[in-house]
């Protein structure tokens, strides 16, 4: 965290510390102070002066309301800048959890990992199934499922973060032709070429995350983005059962990592049910 020179007022919020930044926005830990000593911590995403994609995110964020998706409280503007106010979560990203596990050479326990990914799939199924007010499907695709966008609270709740580059029916601004959205180590092969991709791209991305979580190492990461993308598109994918992971669990991850989307799981719900059945049959327990 980077603390501002002094607590900075921004509209009705007090900016406490800068916790991230990107091409579209800065992210702050902020406090919403009210009468009688009322204070609520929140995460505030403040837009740079280019609005288009941010408002696409805002329109989608306003529709998302699920226990495993980060909650957006408010979408507004102050001092000439648009912002999103989101719930403040106490915990760690899955990226930090997995990095620590690799550093101490302790694998992620199967029971914890399987339960975690069941929860992620529950959130993805909700987003993928989201409909507009008239009942028409919004066809939401997150497009950036990665360990950094999966968050685990200290109470054990799993949250999907950052629908900032999601594709949905609420979107008014088109992606620039040829522009690849997402992290090269996790994007589905079909995201790297012009053309349509759908919710099954998120299942590939989650498959990569699961492979890395259970194997304890990276899957496609190369010395450069070009090499990483090349590995994503062409490298042989070692089955997890060759790393000591039980064959039924390895088969679920293998199916999600089929380069042909038709050979993957066709829905997050279908993949979630297979993980739940595996957890039950293996006698795994995780609160």
The answer to whether 162 touches 181, Cβ cutoff 8 Å, is: no
- Close Cβ partners of 173 (under 8 Å, ≥ 6 residues apart): 52, 53, 55, 56
Residue pair 24/53 in contact by the 8 Å Cβ criterion: yes
- Annotated active-site residue 144? The verdict is yes
Cβ–Cβ contacts within 10 Å for residue 72, how many?
A: 21
Q: Name the packing angle between helices 110-128 and 268-281 (round to 10°).
A: 160
CA-based torsion, 144, 183, 162, 256: positive or negative = positive
Distances (CA, A) of 281 to 116, 275, 277: 17, 10, 6
Strand partners, 27: 20, 45
Q: Looking at residue 264, what DSSP letter applies?
A: S
**List of residues 6+ apart from 61 with CB closer than 8 A:** 72, 75, 84, 86, 163
Decide if 89 contacts 153 (C-beta within 8 A): yes
Catalytic residue of the set 56, 122, 144, 274 = 144
Residues 6+ apart with CB under 8 A from 162: 70, 144, 149
Known catalytic residues are: 144
């Amino acid at each position: 965290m980077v603390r501002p020179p002094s607590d900075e007022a921004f509209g009705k919020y007090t900016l406490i510390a800068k916790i991230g930044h990107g091409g579209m926005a800065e992210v702050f830990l902020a406090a919403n102070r009210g009468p009688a000593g009322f204070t609520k911590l929140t995460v505030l995403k403040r837009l740079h002066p280019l609005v288009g994609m941010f408002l696409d995110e805002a329109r989608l964020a306003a529709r998302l309301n699920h226990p495993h998706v980060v909650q957006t409280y408010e979408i507004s503007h102050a001092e000439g800048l648009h912002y999103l106010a989101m719930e403040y979560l106490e915990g760690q990203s899955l990226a930090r959890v997995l990095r620590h596990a690799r550093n101490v050479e302790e694998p992620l326990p199967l029971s914890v990992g399987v339960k975690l990914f069941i929860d992620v799939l529950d959130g993805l199924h909700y987003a993928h199934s989201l409909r507009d007010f008239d009942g028409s499907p919004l066809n939401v695709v997150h497009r950036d499922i990665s360990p950094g966008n999966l968050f685990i609270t200290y109470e054990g709740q799993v949250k999907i973060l950052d629908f900032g580059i999601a594709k949905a029916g609420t979107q008014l601004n088109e992606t620039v032709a040829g522009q690849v959205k997402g992290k090269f180590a996790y994007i589905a092969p079909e995201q790297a070429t012009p053309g349509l991709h759908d919710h099954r791209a998120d299942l590939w991305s989650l498959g990569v995350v699961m492979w890395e979580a259970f194997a304890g190492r990276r899957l496609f990461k190369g010395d450069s983005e070009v090499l990483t993308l090349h590995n994503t598109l062409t490298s042989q994918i070692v089955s997890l059962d060759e790393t000591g992971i039980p064959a039924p669990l390895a088969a679920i991850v293998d199916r999600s990592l089929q380069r042909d989307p038709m050979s993957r799981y066709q829905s997050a719900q279908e993949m979630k049910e297979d993980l739940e059945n595996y957890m039950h049959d293996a006698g795994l327990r995780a609160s």
